[in-house]
Amino acid sequence: EPEVTQTPSHQVTQMGQEVILRCVPISNHLYFYWYRQILGQKVEFLVSFYNNEISEKSEIFDDQFSVERPDGSNFTLKIRSTKLEDSAMYFCASSEVGTRGETQYFGPGTRLLVL
């Protein structure tokens, strides 16, 4: 069964550094998402992406965040200048056509620790 993959599985960085989290969505999917989960809290939506542009974003997704589809398979989340509060599990997801009523498939997550 096709899966969403994410790399790295874990990343430790110093406050102020830039990080790039990578995702490979399911190959025939057209809509991509990033969510995050701060330790012990609920999963929160960050951004959705379709046709090379942001479709929706939450109030969390401020100017320090950006997303990109640099090639035909990867989908990335960049955090420009990390803060301690960016420490979280980051999940990538994808869905087939992006209708509101369809399954979103989640990757295994990248655990980011900012020191």
91 interacts with another protein by CB under 8 A: yes
Query: Which CB, 39 or 84, lies closer to another protein?
Result: 39
Alpha-carbon distance values, 107 to 17, 33, 51, 93, 103 (Å): 24, 10, 20, 6, 13
Among 15, 17, 55, 80, binds another protein (CB under 8 A): 55
Query: Which CB, 51 or 99, lies closer to another protein?
Result: 99
Among 14, 53, 63, 100, binds another protein (CB under 8 A): 100
33 interacts with another protein by CB under 8 A: yes
With b meaning 16 or more CB within 10 Å and e meaning fewer, what string describes 78-113? ebeebeeebbbbbbbbbbeebeeeeebbbbebbbbe
* Nearest-5° Cα angle at 97, 96 to 99: 115
Report the interface residues with another protein, using CB under 8 A. Answer: 31, 33, 35, 37, 42-45, 48, 55-56, 58, 89, 91, 95, 98-106, 108-109, 111
